[in-house]
Amino acid sequence: MKKHFILSTRTMVSKRNVTLNFGSDNDIHIPMAVVDEMQTRYAKENTERGRIARENLEYLWSLDFKKLRKGVKQTNGSTIYISTNHTDIELPKDVEATTLDRLDRRILQTCIAIKNEINNNTQINGRESEPVILISKSVPLRMKAEMCGIEAQSFKDELLPELSEQYTGRIKLKVSEENYKLFCSQGKIAISLVIPKEDPPELYENMFVEIEGGYKKANGRIENGYIVPLTFEKTHPYGITAKNNAQKFMIEALTMDEKRATLVIFKGPAGTAKTFLSLAVGLQKVVEEGLFPGKILISRSPTETGEKLGFLPGNELEKIYPYLRGIKDNLGNLINPKKDEIGQDIEYPRNKRGNKICPEKPSQEDGSYVFASGAIRAEAIGYIRGRSICDTFIIIDEAQNLTATEIKTIITRVGTGTKLVIIGDPEQIDRPELSERENGLSYASERFKGEPRCWQITLTDDESVRSELAKIASRIL
């Protein structure tokens, strides 16, 4: 059945070619007030949202305006309209009693007018009524539309599953003792031998597996239809020992050659050592092993996503320094040869002679020397755009505060010989327009699951290595 979609401003600036995302036989209506808002509010921004607004405006301007008012066929077969009238439409009294700005009023008037027109045509032609749907990211506007009798939805193309249903990159499998012994003796076991025939779980390439065979346990990962042991389970990057299975999985993904694990994604709460281990492996590869000539590049998304950095004094590093304090804290914990990130003695592995396997670390504890030496450099997210970054170990922190478009821009900047690590916590989002189901971190995780060159894992609260108070606060607050 044909549908009629009315697009709000935030929908229009959420994705390139957004008007082509609503089916091939439907109508897309854009109120003229939305076009005005795109131009006056968003098009002047030097942000990803501003660039999208300019591109979508240019697309509309490329079409004949007189024809747009009557409807223009798009390349996918749908028809796009610009609505310039309907100012005489009265809104319900309960809607008028709410806080209503000019833009919301014009959008709601357009919705009601189109629905009235569709209903009139239905009565004349005797056909089934066609749905009229407002697409908006604003919850209050969607509620007001429902009060007007208009169906309202968020932009589903960007809406991901609930957080509890998103891809985790890990699974627990109980196997028979016989199959467990087979896995240990052969160094691999076919997935078909261990998954249940009834209601089998969804398994993806590079998924991490915790195998339970009777009272014995082992770790592995999925590779070409088999479960194989971890390659780097006994590795101690920069002298660090994994404290749990989750950290072993992270070390596996981080240490694996960049040709096999080009993209690494870690999701999880604070204190699960996502940034700490990423820095440890990065320093191990760059400083100790002499890999990645481009060194370590760190970037993170401040709440403003770099949009206000130009107003801060100093050079680029000084501008973003306030947002890198967490990185500096982790570096200090790595460099300190006595204490780890939670203030406990680090249990460094020992060789056969009993000597600690630990790289040389300077006496400075705040990590400043690492930046001064050039082993690590920091850049704002916005400055990564338009480049092709090769032979570099890239860490993107706080990625839950990026949009899907921004994360796509970053991933497409990866050149040959580069490893990209994306880190964040979807439950700690600072930007009001994003949510657990709409953010760049979760978007990348869902879209890349099963891709051979992407390795990822989601950490849980009980895998945090912070203080007991921090764990309790994370659970109850």
How would you classify the pairing of strands 132-135 and 79-83? unpaired
Give Rg (Cα) of the chain: 26
- What are the extents of the domains in the chain? 4-158, 163-229, 238-476
The residues with which 133 forms a beta bridge, in sequence order, are 5, 151
CATH of domain 238-476: 3.40.50.300
Q: What is the pTM of this model?
A: 0.76
Instruction: Return the H-helix or E-strand segment holding 147.
Output: helix 139-147
Q: Cα–Cα distances in Å, from 82 out to 116, 138, 167, 196?
A: 17, 21, 39, 54
Question: Which pLDDT value is given to residue 357?
Answer: 52
Q: Residue 184's CB: how many other CB atoms inside 10 A?
A: 14
- CA dist 210 and 232 (Å) reads 15
Contact yes or no for 107/6 (Cβ under 8 A) = yes
Helix axes 274-283, 245-255, angle to 10 degrees: 40
pLDDT in single tens digits along all 477 residues of the chain: 889 999 999 999 988 899 999 988 899 999 999 999 999 999 988 777 888 899 999 999 999 888 999 999 999 999 999 998 888 999 999 999 988 899 999 999 999 999 998 888 776 665 667 899 999 988 899 999 999 999 999 887 666 888 889 999 999 999 999 999 999 999 999 999 998 888 888 999 999 999 999 889 999 999 999 999 999 999 999 989 999 999 999 999 999 999 999 999 999 998 899 999 999 999 999 999 999 999 999 998 765 444 454 555 556 556 666 667 778 788 878 876 554 444 444 555 555 555 545 555 554 456 777 888 889 988 888 777 668 899 999 999 999 999 888 899 899 999 999 999 999 999 999 888 788 888 999 999 999 999 999 999 999 988 887 767 766 776 676
Question: Which pLDDT value is given to residue 362?
Answer: 52
| Alpha helix positions (H), 76-131 | 93-96, 102-125
Structure tokens at 179: 């199959």
Question: Which pLDDT value is given to residue 125?
Answer: 61
Fold equal for 4-158 and 238-476: yes
Q: How far is CA 318 from the centre of its chain?
A: 26
Classify domain 4-158 at the CATH topology level. Rossmann fold (3.40.50)
Q: Cα–Cα distances in Å, from 253 out to 206, 217, 235, 265, 457?
A: 9, 20, 12, 9, 9
Class of domain 163-229: mainly beta
How would you classify the pairing of strands 263-267 and 419-424? parallel
The residues with which 202 forms a beta bridge, in sequence order, are none
Residue 394, helix vs strand vs coil: strand
9's CB contacts (< 8 A; 6+ apart) are 34, 37, 38, 41, 42, 103
Question: Which pLDDT value is given to residue 345?
Answer: 47
The DSSP output letter for 285 is: I
